[in-house]
Amino acid sequence: MSPIGPPKTPLLQHVISQINKLSEQQNVAMRQAAFTGMTEEEAREYNKRAAQIRELVEKLTMMYPRSVLTGGERHGQETQKTAGHG
């Protein structure tokens, strides 16, 4: 049985690692901001990381079809069925 998901290429691993790193930084910033707020500089850095995350996710979706990234064709079919209703 073959593993589900995209092949673990060095590029894929790097992109995922970057997304994880940036996401953790975002989580820390939001936890801190809940208590102390954000300075203008912190907000700029937060927005910069958010843009980097979006770019990396976009890169992933260009590299691999959604069904591969989400674990198989079944999810894609369910999404298409849901999108067709409504």
Residue 81 has pLDDT above 80, yes or no: no
For the chain, domain boundaries: 10-84
Quote the CA–CA distance of 65 and 5 in Å, as a whole number: 10
Q: What is the pLDDT of residue 67?
A: 57
Residue 18 has pLDDT above 50, yes or no: yes
Q: What is the pLDDT of residue 51?
A: 98
76 close to 70: Cβ distance less than 8 angstroms: yes
**What's the whole-number average pLDDT of the chain?**
80
* Tokens 């999404």 belong to residue: 79
Could you report the per-residue pLDDT of 28-66, keeping only the tens digit for each? 999 999 999 999 999 999 999 999 999 999 988 887 766
Left (φ > 0), alpha (ψ -120 to 50) or beta: where does 8 sit?
beta
Q: Which two tokens stand for residue 2?
A: 């073959």
72 close to 64: Cβ distance less than 8 angstroms: no
